Amino acid sequence: MEERDVLVIGAGPAGYAAAIRAAQLGGKVTIVEKEALGGTCLNHGCIPTRVFARAAELLETGSRGKDYGIAFRDQTIEFSKLIARKDIVVKTLVAGVRMLLGENGVEAVEGRAAFNSPRELSITAPDGVRKIILARNTVIAPGARCRALSISGGDMMLDTTAILQLKEIPRSMVILGAGCIGMSLASVFSRLGAAVTVLEESNSMLNGIDGEVVSQYQKEAKKNKIAYFPECRIQAVEHDSNDGMRVLASLKGEELTVNAQCVVNAEEREPNIEGLGLADLGIRLNEKKGIAVDKAMRTNIAGVFAAGDVTMEHMWTHAAYMEGVVAAENAMGKESHADYSAMPYWTCTLPSVAGVGLTEEKAVEMGYDVKSSRFSFAGNGMAVVLGQRTGMVKLITERKYGRVLGVHIVGAQAAELIAEAAMAVKSELAAEDIGAVLHPHPSLSEAFWEAARGIDGNAIHLLPDK
Amino acid sequence: MYPDNLKYNVEHTWLRLEAPTKGRVGITVYAQERLKEVVFVELPDVGAETVQMQPFGVIESVKATNDLYSPVSGTVMEVNERLKDDPGLVNRDPYGEGWMVMIEFGNAEELDALISAEAYRLAVGG
């Protein structure tokens, strides 16, 4: 019987990070994946979405070329070529994961894994051949998938995987859920030419994100022509002879009908936990029906860890990487804990939104004496150069020491800019520390520097309060 | 500050009727003061269609970039070409030489959605 230090189930971001980390620490590692390496992120999530967003950005750049004396005359989208590009990007990154695993000495096996006992797993290859592996430790990282809504016609809705595999751009689409994923898809597809309607059950778009940033985003997004209905509960999806589909919903008690070529569920997800033998193993689940873990990514069974979306907690790839690494380190006998205090979020909307740490609302709720500062991209030299002056950087600190609690950005390149803010939040830097760091000029990053200086009223490119 | 013979919208544009269904459009003193020095005004071509309360152009100042919201739905008949070389006209004479477009509109009922000088003054806080 083959023995391993660590067996990893699932080769998405959590799984492959765990496998690589365990191998770095000298472990003998096998990773088992039943589909493509790279998981949701690479194959059906962030990466393909971001490729589409890139296309939308290029369209936008093309239409703004005239401001700089450059005419892009033929601005048509050949969707089949965009799909081909997306497939190349995905293939490249999947190949990269395969290479990384191989070069680190990780054995990658195609197949399905199931627990026979906490230490013994059977791996079934696609051809049905089964082998048994003894694993000192296992990291369960099979991810999650979209869950069909249990309403009439719920199965006719596309999930976020299917929407990224369309063969042509739909004329019209309805998206359920105005969270980061829903709004990113809405923004991208509307820029690519679809008439998009977003239906949201709660009363707020981008729920959980700093309120001031969301309202500035909404103001800027008005011209994106996305129809948005908050407090809207979907009741059924039906076929419609005209456009394809019809969504029946209730909007604050009134009936609402929206016709569209396709309907996308960007909201509900469920963990991929079937067939792993978890019930027999006695693995405990959490309230969200994901695998319950502690800060070391340990499940209730000794030697069995879980990481990534299967926990249903922090459904971001960057969280999955950290969780995979933490699980691997603990499996290899080190002490390591997951820390979500500086968890960035991002959207690929127009303008984009990103943030890290506490929102102002949350900081106040937690009892901090909050002092916040804003710097508008209108006052940033690089933003003027780029012709992208809308948006701002908002910095939230506690008053006494000026420690940065959260940073939220709406505007160009928000997701790139937030990395520096994540370091500030994670390192518990004070606004003053950031203000003392030289930021290259001209760059959008200066807006973060100015917002930090603004905490003490020392921003340079800001009109003084009168 | 806000001439009585103009009609306004809350997005800080004014409309001066020059015929029952034709009017000149610009931005208010309040808006230009907030924007500070105007450096560029992007206007539509003659013949372009406008939609009430939708952007018809962009104004860029030393402080900010903002959309210009059309007071009525109609067709652009004239554009203030002088703003190309001298956008500062918007600061110096917002109700006169700093006008932006002349719009001919079909639906005079849209005028009901515009507000008076007094209502605009209250809307911008006095």
Residues A140 and A288 in one domain: yes
Nearest to A389 among B36, B54, B64 (CB): B64
Task: Tell me which residue range forms the domain holding A251.
Answer: 154-267
Tell me, yes or no, whether A24 lies in a domain. Answer: yes
As a whole number, the mean pLDDT across chain A is 94
Q: Which residues does chain A have with pLDDT short of 70?
A: 243, 466
Tell me, yes or no, whether A466 lies in a domain. Answer: no
Residues A120 and A45 in one domain: yes
User: What's the number of domains chain A is made of?
Assistant: 3
| ipTM entry | 0.72
- Strands, E assignment, A307-387: 345-346, 352-357, 370-376
Contact A389 B67 (CB under 8 A): no
Residue in chain A nearest B34 by alpha carbon: A463
Residue A318 known to be catalytic? no
Residues A317 and A362 in one domain: no
* Per-residue model confidence (pLDDT) at position A466: 61
Residues A84 and A207 in one domain: no
Residues A289 and A226 in one domain: no
* Per-residue model confidence (pLDDT) at position B104: 96
Does residue B33 belong to the interface with chain A, where contact is any CB pair within 8 Å? Answer: no
Residues A165 and A140 in one domain: no
Domains in chain B, CATH or no CATH each: 7-114 (2.40.50.100)
Residues A369 and A383 in one domain: yes
Nearest to B55 among A223, A378, A463 (CB): A223
Residues A7 and A122 in one domain: yes
pLDDT, tens only, B83-100: 999 999 999 999 999 999
Residue A121 · residue A113 · CB < 8 Å:
yes
- Domain boundary (A267, A289, A323) is at A267
Q: How far apart are CA B25 and CA A249, in angstroms?
A: 40
* Per-residue model confidence (pLDDT) at position A452: 97
Residue in chain B nearest A392 by alpha carbon: B64
Tell me, yes or no, whether A178 lies in a domain. Answer: yes
- Domain boundary (A267, A282, A317) is at A267
Tell me, yes or no, whether A341 lies in a domain. Answer: no
Tell me, yes or no, whether A81 lies in a domain. Answer: yes
Residues A223 and A318 in one domain: no
3-state secondary structure of A66: helix
Q: How far apart are CA A360 and CA A209, in angstroms?
A: 9
Both tokens assigned to A146: 């979209």
* Per-residue model confidence (pLDDT) at position A252: 86
- CATH number at A397 reads 3.30.390.30
As a whole number, the mean pLDDT across chain B is 94
Tell me, yes or no, whether A336 lies in a domain. Answer: no
Q: How confident is the model at residue B63 (pLDDT cuts 50, 70, 90)?
A: confident
Helix then strand count (H, E) for chain B reads: 4, 9
Residues A250 and A284 in one domain: no
* Per-residue model confidence (pLDDT) at position A240: 86
Alpha helices in A332-379 (DSSP H): 360-365
Radius of gyration of chain B (CA): 13
Tell me, yes or no, whether A253 lies in a domain. Answer: yes
- CATH number at A24 reads 3.50.50.60
Tell me, yes or no, whether A461 lies in a domain. Answer: no
Residues A53 and A8 in one domain: yes
Nearest to A378 among B54, B63, B67 (CB): B63
Give bridge partners of residue A54 from the DSSP assignment: none
- Domain boundary (A267, A298, A322) is at A267
Q: Cα dihedral sign for A51, A323, A407, A449?
A: negative
Residues A357 and A432 in one domain: yes
